[in-house]
Structure 1
Amino acid sequence: MPRGALSVRGAAAVAAALAVLLGGCSSDGGDGPDDGKRGTPGSALAAARELTVKGRAPKTGYERERFGTPWADTDGNGCRTRDDILKRDLADVAFTDGTSGRNRKSGKGARSGRSGEAGEAGEAASQECQVASGTLKNDPYTGKDVPFTRGSGSSVDIDHVVALSDAWQKGASQWEPSKRIALANDPLNLLAVDASTNREKGDGDTATWLPPNKGYRCEYVARQVAVKRKYELWVTDAERDAMVTVLSDCPSQPLPTGGTSTSAPTRFTAR
């Protein structure tokens, strides 16, 4: 082979090696050309990439009752879960007993959960369960303020961020009832939102539905990732791709934490 050919090949090899080295570096010191799209440690994007990917299982056998009585008081604070979320997410809250105030000292935020404490604070807390009215300020899904008045025509829903039907098709059908009940009442998986927009969502996952409010999409998808990770639910290929696409625009979006145990107390049952 002519020496010139070897020289050309050698130059090509050096160029290829340099391309690999340069491609493996990024301005922020990451590990690859799309490191900014991989997510920082503890980010929702990093967690989304680690979710188990499988196909969607059949919806066969799904009923709401499989997840227990709606809004069961699984945290034992004396209030139904729906009212807990309304108290958490609404402003200018008024209760059916005539009291008001979003963060009253006797409310859920002030209770330590110590079962031995009763008396005046416990009595006040039990009175402040049913939310009569309030305002959902800057609704996550639309960005609008939505007034809430208790009743069948309420304009505020409590959304399961990961829909129960979606969960059923991605692992929950195989769970013990206590885990399904926990998911249905976990504050991590619940948001007060505009009712009409929530009903458009149905049981959609990230691949099929995102909030119209684009400014909330990173936080919304991060919450879905957090719930799926916490409860070991899988995602479809399309769903994981959609999650990564959204979160790549906010690679440092933190993964939400908290909520309740993944197993509800044994006094609660489901079909």
Structure 2
Amino acid sequence: MAGLLLAVPLTTGCEATLGLSETDSPAPGESADKPGSRDVKRARAALSGLRIASEGDGDGYERAKFGTRWKDIDRNGCDQRNDVLARDLSDVGKRGDCVVMSGRLRDPYSGKEITFAKKDAAEVQIDHIYPLALAWRMGASRWSDDKRERFANDHDNLLAVWGVPNRQKSDSGPGEWKPQKSYQCTYAVKYVTVADKYSLAVTRDDHRALQDFLGRC
């Protein structure tokens, strides 16, 4: 369903807080959003406590079941998409207090540098780290409407990424899809943080992959 992102030609147009140590600096193609040792320790402990289960069949899934897209659940006056763009892009230009019109993104999934312009907004997309359709198959189908909406708009589960790997990732978990090697530790910490926060199960393959990714920390 999905492959290693490093094979993609780059010429194609949680509760835990992740921190970058003052002594660390990212290598070319790496994200500056690297977890600290305490975040990694918490993620490893949380992963050991996650329930392992098989995926459901996905019957009944619709994006609308996860409520209003980019709802301002933190009530800061800006929708979640613009919040995440403002958080994850550099050199951000805004219209008013909220609407991100321009900026630059180092895509965490591939390392590609993206110039964002609102007129070509699809180039930078907002990914659900723990995908909505996968969450539905892993138990979110039994949640309340309110909980699903909170999950879909939770900053901990949202990440600005290049559109190409986002489409490639689709609704895959880490057992089927992997970001670039240098981001796998951070990705695992974020994924486990969200799964633990919402008491979501993971598949055995996803659990194994997350263990491997945390081993890169």
Q: TM-score, normalised on structure 1?
A: 0.64
The yes-or-no answer on 1:188 pairing with 2:187 is no
1:72·1:81 contact (CA, 8 Å) conserved in 2? yes
Amino acid at match of 1:133: S
Q: Which residue of 2 aligns with 1:130?
A: 99
Mapped partners of 2:215, 2:192: distance in 1: 13
How far off its partner does 1:206 sit? 0.7
How far off its partner does 1:40 sit? 9.5
Residues 143 and 178 of structure 1, relative CA distance in 2, 3 Å threshold: same
How far off its partner does 1:248 sit? 2.2
How far off its partner does 1:151 sit? 3.2
The yes-or-no answer on 1:238 pairing with 2:205 is yes
Q: Which residue of 1 aligns with 2:75?
A: 76
1:95·1:133 contact (CA, 8 Å) conserved in 2? yes
Cα RMSD, aligned residues only? 1.7
The yes-or-no answer on 1:224 pairing with 2:191 is yes
2:40·2:214 contact (CA, 8 Å) conserved in 1? no
Mapped partners of 2:39, 2:79: distance in 1: 37
Mark the structure with the bigger radius of gyration.
Answer: 1
Q: Which residue of 1 aligns with 2:132?
A: 164
Over residues 227-264 of structure 1, what are the superposed CA-to-partner deviations in whole Å (9 max), with x where a residue is unaligned? 000000001111111111221232xxxxxxxxxxxxxx
Over residues 156-188 of structure 1, what are the superposed CA-to-partner deviations in whole Å (9 max), with x where a residue is unaligned? 011000000011011110000111001111110
Aligned with residue 142 of structure 2, among 158, 174, 183: 174
Q: Which residue of 2 aligns with 1:12?
A: none
Residues 150 and 243 of structure 1, relative CA distance in 2, 3 Å threshold: same
How far off its partner does 1:152 sit? 5.2
Q: Which residue of 1 aligns with 2:24?
A: none
Mapped partners of 1:242, 1:154: distance in 2: 29
The structure that is strand-richer by fraction is 2
- Give ranges in structure 2 of 5+ residues lacking alignment: 1-37
The yes-or-no answer on 1:201 pairing with 2:169 is yes
How far off its partner does 1:154 sit? 2.8
Indicate the percent of aligned positions where both proteins have the same amino acid. Answer: 43
Mapped partners of 1:247, 1:90: distance in 2: 25
Q: Which residue of 1 aligns with 2:63?
A: 64
Amino acid at match of 2:109: Y
Matches within 5 A, 1:1-271: 42-96=41-95, 127-136=96-105, 138-151=106-119, 154-211=122-179, 213-250=180-217
1:148·1:154 contact (CA, 8 Å) conserved in 2? no
Q: TM-score, normalised on structure 2?
A: 0.79
